[in-house]
Structure formats: C-alpha cells, structure tokens
Chains A and B, each alone.
Chain A
Amino acid sequence: MTSTSPITEAGAAAPLPADWRDLFALTKPRVMSLVIFTGLCGLIAAPDRIHPVLAFTAILCIAMGAGGAAALNQWWEADIDAGMKRTAKRPLPQGRLDRTTARDFAGVLCAASVFLMGFAISWLAAAILAISIIYYAVIYTVWLKPRTPQNIVIGGGAGAFPPLIGWVAATGQISLMPVVLFAIIFFWTPPHFWALALFVKSDYAKVGIPMMPVVAGERSTRRQILAYAILLLPLSALPWWLPGHEHSGAVYGISALVLSTIFLLLSIRVAFRERTGPDDAMKPEKQLFGYSVLYLFALFAALVVDRFVVL
C-alpha cells in the first residue's frame, strides 16, 4: 500500500459513534464558504434570473458537492493528514470517526448533490458539478497530488468550477463570462496555495507530497508566484472588456485592477525575498496567503455589486 492509500487503523479504534460535528468537519467548512460564495456570485452575476427556491437549491447542491468531495479527500488522505501538523487534528487522523462512515457520508453527499441539481435545476449544471467532484476527489487527490509539483496548477481547476455551475444553473448554458470566471480562480490557485506551501513546506516534505517548494525549491516557487500574479492582473479585469451583454462595468473593473495590483505588490515582496533562517516567521508569505483569500471574496463581491450599481 502506498503512502497515499487509505488507512483503516485510525478509524477502527474509535470508541464512540461518529459525532455530527466530526461529519461536518469532514466537509472542510472554511473552504466550502469560498466555494459557496463564488458559486452564488456566478449565479447572481448571470444575466438570467431563476426562482429563489431554485437558486437556493443550486447553491445547496454546490455546497453538498464541495463538502462531499472534501470528505472523499480526507477519507483518502487520512494517513497523510496524520503526519502533518496543519491537518493532524482532523476527525479521521484523530480516530474520532471510522473510515467507512466517512466514505459513505461523502458518497451520499456527492450523489445527492448531483441528482438534486439534475432534477431540480438542469442536467448540464449537474454534469459540471459531477465533473468538479471527480476532478477534486480523483484527478487532484488520488492522481496529481502525490505525483507532480504541478498538482495545484492542474488541480486548481476543481475549485474554479463553482461560479461556472452557478452561472449555468441560472442561464442553462455555458458562455464566455463564466469561462473567464473559471480562469480567474484557476490562475489564482497556484499563488494562493504556494504562499501556504512556503510556510508549511516541512510538513509537505515530511509526508512526501511533492509541492512546488519541496521539489523545485523556494526561489523557483517565489518566482512562479510572481508570474501567476502578473497574469492575474489583466485576467481579473477581462470581464470589464468582454463583448456583449455579459460584460461587467466600471465598479468591477476598477475593483479588479486595485485588488490585483495589491496582490501583485504582495507577490513581488514574496518573490524577491529569501528565508532568513529556520526561525523566519514568513510574515510576507502569510500575508499573501491571507490576502489571497480576501482577494477572491472581494473580487467576486465586486462582480455582484456591479450588477446592481451603474456608474
């Protein structure tokens, strides 16, 4: 059994039945909040309107799908999580939950989200949701993550689906704008994750995950963060210049340029810096990571505000 294969020992020793709080923790609620938010923004920013109950159902399905995929990820990576300080307190590595329950819970969430989306909203949205679940749980978690330092670059696609799903749920079709929104999250993911990977590098190295700083070194990772931040600046403003009725206005455009410029400045600080020693607090990297989360929230919030404010 490889280092990425699931383990059974931790869960088998659980003396108590699974608590619903542990099942909830399996869904990675903090990550899910960003997924729900970007999905909701995609749905609101779309030119078509759907019934509020159906809009709520679409967002619920996105949340359930993301939660199910996250639970599958934790089920598969229980042994890896146990070896990392950041993830060692999760329910499975701590033995608070047995692995079969985690797997079944994840399976039910994933299947229910896809079928509910299909029956209530549209089968196109359901198909994209299914693809995003498979992308995260299988392509990223099982295949890419343990094999290549480009794991997060290719795997970033998994987190980029929610605005596309939200848009398709509202309009019933894929057009240029949701593809651009997908691209924004896709190119935002590497600098976001690599900023984190820089300050938890030893954790990844310990469990044998080939994250970019572990394989290519810190200097190369820092320069690649900068490259993606440069790319993100024009890309984030692209919805402002899109042709047709889907494009955003000045509220979004100016917000995107300001937010992305700050992102770029923080990335420059990280790019041309070197770790001063083992006691380095990695403050610029932590600031970039924190700002990257805020950046995505603010960018998508601007997209929604832009729909209702005309300058």
Chain B
Amino acid sequence: MEDPHRETRSIEQIRKSRNRVLALSLAAFVILVFFISIAKMS
C-alpha cells in the first residue's frame, strides 16, 4: 500500500525536501561543534 502523501508528491519535491533536511542537519552540526568547542574551552 502506498503512502497517500507520497502519491501526490513528485520525485523532485521529495528530493528537495530531503536535501533541505540534510542541509539543516549539517548546519546544526557545524553550530553544535562550534558551541562544544566554546564549552570545552570554558
């Protein structure tokens, strides 16, 4: 059984939303590493 929300979404949309989540995760990781460095030095 196909997920209903996926039937209405194109490959392009799915790829775009996945890339967005990936980009946000990477940005969050960089910010986290920055704050970890600050916390370790304090």
Contacts and interface: CB of A to CB of B under 8 A. Distances in A.
Interface of A: 16-20, 51-54, 57, 60, 89, 94, 96, 120
A26 to B, nearest CB: 14
B18 A19 contact: yes
A51 B17 CA distance: 34
Contact of B3 (A53, A94, A120): A94
Contacts of A19: 6, 14, 17-18
Interface residues of B, number: 19
A51 B6 contact: no
27 contacts: A16-B6, A16-B14, A17-B15, A18-B18, A19-B6, A19-B14, A19-B17, A20-B18, A20-B21, A20-B22, A51-B39, A51-B42, A52-B39, A53-B35, A53-B36, A53-B38, A53-B39, A54-B36, A54-B39, A57-B32, A60-B32, A89-B1, A94-B1, A94-B2, A94-B3, A96-B2, A96-B6
Nearest to B7: A16
Contacts of B39: 51-54
Contacts of B38: 53
The 7 tightest CB contacts between A and B, nearest first, are A51-B39, A53-B39, A20-B21, A53-B35, A120-B36, A20-B18, A19-B14
Contact of A17 (B3, B14, B35, B42): B14
A263 B18 CA distance: 43
Contacts of A51: 39, 42
A17 B14 CA distance: 7
Question: Which of A18, A19, A89 has the most B CB atoms < 10 Å from its CB?
Answer: A19
Interface of B: 1-3, 6, 9, 11, 14-15, 17-18, 21-22, 32, 35-36, 38-40, 42
Nearest to B12: A17
A16 B36 CA distance: 37
A60 B6 CA distance: 29
B36 A17 contact: no
Most B CB contacts (10 A, CB to CB) among A17, A20, A89 go to A20
Contacts of A60: 32
Contact of A20 (B11, B17, B32, B40): B17
A230 B7 CA distance: 51
A60 B3 CA distance: 29
Contacts of A120: 36, 40
A52 B42 CA distance: 12
Contacts of B18: 17-20
Contacts of B2: 94, 96
Contacts of B1: 89, 94
B12 to A, nearest CB: 10
A19 B7 CA distance: 12
Given A16-B6, A16-B9, A94-B2, 8 more contacts: A16-B14, A19-B17, A20-B18, A20-B22, A52-B39, A53-B36, A94-B1, A96-B6
A223 B28 CA distance: 49
Contacts of A52: 39
B31 to A, nearest CB: 10
